[in-house]
Structure 1
Amino acid sequence: MNMKSNLPQHPCKGKCTAFKEEQCNTCLIAVEAEFLPGDVVVYSDSIDINSLHTIEAYQPNNHYWLAWDQLVRRDQIRSATTAELKARRRLPAPEMQGVTE
C-alpha cells in the first residue's frame, strides 16, 4: 500500500532534506519564525516585565508561546542580550549603554 502525503503543498517539499511524507517540524519553524524553541527573549521596553522568557513554540501570524503558557506577538519581544543572560533579567536602556555583545 502506497501512502501519499496529506500535505501536497507543504512548503518544505523539494527544499528540506528532512522532509519525507510528513511535516518535519524543524524547517517550517525556520522558514516562518524568527525565534526557535529554546531561544531566550525579553519583553520590549514598552512592557514593564524584566524577567527572561523561553520560546516554546511558534504560532501562525507572528505569535509565540512562551514558557508558562504566555502567548505574545512578535513585536512584544526581542532576543535577550549576552549581558541580560548573565544578569538573568532584562536590562534597562541606561544599563545597556556601552554594553557590547
Structure 2
Amino acid sequence: MESTVAQQKSKDNQQDFIAGDVVVFTDPHKPDVLMTVHKVQGDGVLLDGNRNFALSHLIRTASAVELNAKRRLTKAEQALAEVS
C-alpha cells in the first residue's frame, strides 16, 4: 500500500510547516482534533492561536478526507478513504 506524501515526509522527519497549516497528531493516543499551526518555533510549532505546542515530528498535515471529517482518521479509515 502506498503512503501519502504527507505520511512519507513525516516518516522522513522532513515535514515543513507554515502558519495556517492544518495538522493532526501522529500518535493515535493523542487527541484526534484538527489543529492549526500558528507559528513555527525551532523544532516545533505553536498551535491554535498559541495555546498548544507540539514537536514537528509528532504531527503531520491533515489529509483532505480528515479536513472533511473534521478529525484525524484511524489507519483503517484512511485505508478505506484511499480506495473509495
TM-score (norm 1): 0.61
Aligned-CA RMSD value: 1.5
**Which of 30, 42, 48 in structure 2 is aligned with 1:67?**
48
Cα displacement string for residues 27-71 of structure 1 (whole angstroms, at most 9, x for unaligned residues): xxxxxx7111010000113442110000000101x1100015111
Q: After superposition, where does 1:6-85 map in structure 2 within 5 Å? A: 34-60=16-42, 62-68=43-49, 69-85=51-67
Q: In structure 2, what is the Cα distance between the partners aligned to 1:47 and 1:94?
A: 15
Q: In structure 1, what is the Cα distance between the partners aligned to 2:52 and 2:37?
A: 10
Greater share of strand residues, 1 or 2?
Answer: 2
Structure 2 segments unaligned to the other structure (5+ residues) = 1-14
Structure 1 segments unaligned to the other structure (5+ residues) = 1-32
User: 1:99 offset after TM fit, Å?
Assistant: 2.5
- After superposing on structure 2, the runs of 4+ consecutive aligned residues of structure 1 that deviate more than 2 Å are 45-48
Greater share of helix residues, 1 or 2?
Answer: 2
User: 1:98 offset after TM fit, Å?
Assistant: 3.7
The number of residue pairs the alignment matches comes to: 67
Secondary structure, counterpart of 1:99 in structure 2? helix
Q: Name which structure has the greater RCO, CA cutoff 8 Å, separation 6+.
A: 2
